[in-house]
């Protein structure tokens, strides 16, 4: 599924419940007692990070989130129930911009939920007021209105590993092999239009660690010469790999000129940000089932000049995929233990 990383929504916290206006008169007594209870407070809306949510697609169809209203106060001094608070779960790293105040909240892992809209104040019930016996008008209060905000949510993925390279290099096929993702795969350039994310489980590596962990891998659209100037699909999606621990630079092993292919992608990186160039990187020759062993040796020899770790895989060769898996786990283990 394509990744949704930019949405606009409205949130409206619950209104406070109206204060009760009940009164009590005792037969035979001229006295009237006001006994309307207070209303309940309106439900708040919080945002909280969850590792079980991978993007913002839940908001594609749910553009308004409404908090629960507080209940009305009732007679016999009964207070109305508070509206239930809502906790909206978003991926860690989601930034929330309040479109009116321009305030920005960042939702981070292991941090307490962030209150984004406060529920309305509870209305005071008539028991707080002196009853006016003459006209039996009992005072009470309306509940306060819940806060309403227009929010702009942007997700910068916090992926551990980024798959990069020319279109058709086999990036999405590899993501599918390594993770639980089901990206679109096609025998043509620009099959992937939006970044895909997948989680690679690392349970056995983290034995003894509660619950195990997972490595998040991002597969991004292919880059071509001039991408930084908007050619092809552009480079705006590079923001999703800015924070990764390591990049896997995929090169189709059938490439006539793997050096040129490698350098072209690196050149586009340079235009975007230097930090991407400095990031740790593995050069990965893909589709090696389609070439001879000799050709593979030549390709590896050519690419040695970049002084990077070079690996070679075919999605049809389990052994090669397993070796890659082990290497990737080694590179990212510390990140996962931190989470």
**Which residues bind to ligand GTP, rule: CB under 6 A?**
167-173, 185-187, 189-192, 221-222, 286-287, 289-290, 314-316
Q: Which is nearer to ligand GTP, 47 or 237 (CB)?
A: 237
Residues contacting Mg ion: total by CB under 5 A: 4
Query: Could you say which of Mg ion, ligand GTP, none residue 214 binds, taking C-beta under 5 to 8 angstroms by partner kind?
Result: none
Q: Which does 335 bind (CB under 5 to 8 A by kind): Mg ion, ligand GTP, none?
A: none
Q: How far is the CB of 320 from ligand GTP (least distance, A)?
A: 9
- The residue (of 193 and 326) whose beta carbon lies closer to Mg ion is 193
- Contact partner at residue 314 from ligand GTP, Mg ion, none, CB < 5 to 8 Å by partner kind: ligand GTP
DSSP alpha helices (H): ranges in the chain?
171-178, 258-272, 274-278, 293-303, 318-338
Q: Which is nearer to ligand GTP, 149 or 249 (CB)?
A: 249
* 140 in Cβ contact with 21 (< 8 Å): yes
- CA dihedral sign, ordered 285, 290, 291, 292: positive
Quote the least distance from Cβ 2 to ligand GTP, whole Å: 12
Helix (H) or strand (E) holding 107: strand 104-107
Instruction: Collapse the DSSP code of 127 into the 3-class scheme (helix H, G, I; strand E, B; otherwise coil) and give the result.
Output: helix
DSSP labels, 35-60: -PPP-PPPPPEEEEE-TT--SSGGGT
Out of 48, 51, 191, 264, point to the residue binding Mg ion (CB under 5 A).
Answer: 191
- Closer CB to Mg ion, 48 or 191, in the complex: 191
Complex with ligand GTP: residue 79 or 192, whichever CB lies closer = 192
CA-CA-CA-CA torsion sign (227, 229, 234, 236) = positive
337: part of which helix (H) or strand (E)?
helix 318-338
When asked if residue 192 is in the footprint of Mg ion (CB under 5 A), the reply is yes
**Cα 54 to Cα 123: distance, rounded to the nearest angstrom:** 40
Closer of 153 and 288 to ligand GTP (Cβ): 288
141 token code pair: 């209060």
Contact between 35 and 75 under an 8 Å Cβ cutoff? The reply is yes
Region near Mg ion per CB under 5 A, out of 25-33, 84-92, 190-198, 202-210: 190-198
Q: Which does 186 bind (CB under 5 to 8 A by kind): Mg ion, ligand GTP, none?
A: ligand GTP
Structure tokens at 88: 């909206």
Question: 201: which 2 tokens?
Answer: 């489980």
Please report, as ranges, the residues that interact with Mg ion according to CB under 5 A.
171-172, 191-192
């Amino acid at each position: 599924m394509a990744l949704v990383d930019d949405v606009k929504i409205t949130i409206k916290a619950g209104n406070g419940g109206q204060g009760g206006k009940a009164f009590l008169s005792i037969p035979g007594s001229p006295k009237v007692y006001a006994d309307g209870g207070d209303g309940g407070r309106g439900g708040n809306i919080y945002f909280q990070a969850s590792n079980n949510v991978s993007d913002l697609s839940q908001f594609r169809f749910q553009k308004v989130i409404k908090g629960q209203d507080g209940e009305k106060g009732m007679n016999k001094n009964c207070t109305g129930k508070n509206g239930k608070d809502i906790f909206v779960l978003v991926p860690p790293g989601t930034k929330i911009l309040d479109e009116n105040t321009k305030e920005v909240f960042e939702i981070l892992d292991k941090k307490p939920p962030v209150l984004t809209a406060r529920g309305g104040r509870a209305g005071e019930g008539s028991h707080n007021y002196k009853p006016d016996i003459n006209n039996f008008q009992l005072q009470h209060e309306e509940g306060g209105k819940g806060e309403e905000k227009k929010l702009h949510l942007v997700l910068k993925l916090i992926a551990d590993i980024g798959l990069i390279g020319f279109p058709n290099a086999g990036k999405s096929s590899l993501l599918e092999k390594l993770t639980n993702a089901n990206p679109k795969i096609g025998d043509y350039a620009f099959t992937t239009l939006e970044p895909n994310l997948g989680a690679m489980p690392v349970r056995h590596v983290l034995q003894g660690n509660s619950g195990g962990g997972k490595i998040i891998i991002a597969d991004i659209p292919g880059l071509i010469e001039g991408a930084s100037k908007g050619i092809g699909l552009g480079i705006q999606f590079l923001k999703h790999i800015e924070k990764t621990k390591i990049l896997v630079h995929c090169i189709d092993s059938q490439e006539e000129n793997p050096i040129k292919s490698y350098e072209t992608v690196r050149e586009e990186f340079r235009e975007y940000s230097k930090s991407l160039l400095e990031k740790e990187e593995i050069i990965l020759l893909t589709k090696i089932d389609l070439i001879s062993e000799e050709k593979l040796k030549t390709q590896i020899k050519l690419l040695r000049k970049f002084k990077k770790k070079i690996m070679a895989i075919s999605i049809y060769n389990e052994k090669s995929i397993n070796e890659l898996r082990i290497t990737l786990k080694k590179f990212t283990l510390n990140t996962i233990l931190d989470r």
